[in-house]
Amino acid sequence: MRKLLEKALRDAMKDKKRTLGAKQVLNSMKNSKLVVLSQSIPKDMEKKIHEHTKKEKVSTLDFEGSSVALGRLCGLQFRVSTISLTSLSDANIKSILKESENQ
């Protein structure tokens, strides 16, 4: 899961085509293509995000790591509980999801 996801996260950070944080992701769900959730996110917020993503038909990925690990993957020095990516193609989303299923 790391390679494609890491590249997508770094590209999104560089191009500023992402939203960080659970509350901000909820507010910008319509523009999202893929939402990545860390294991550190509170369960009630995770449930809310999953409900919104189903309603808006946005793909979600449950990242198998803490918010610290997700922040590092993004190239940031702080924790990231949730990030939504807005600039991915459908092919990239499918390959990221497929890669995460294989691990």
Q: What are 43-77's pLDDT values in tens digits?
A: 999 999 999 999 999 999 999 999 999 999 888 89
Residue 88 has pLDDT above 90, yes or no: no
Q: What number of CA atoms fall less than 13 Å from residue 34's CA on the CB side?
A: 21
- Domain containing 6 equals 2-102
What pLDDT is attached to residue 102? 78
Asked whether the predicted pLDDT for residue 1 surpasses 70, the reply is no
Domain count, the chain: 1
Residue 37: name the closest of 19, 49, 52 by CA.
49
As a residue count, the chain comes to 103
CATH code for the domain of 29: 3.30.1330.30
What residues form DSSP beta bridges with 35? 60, 84
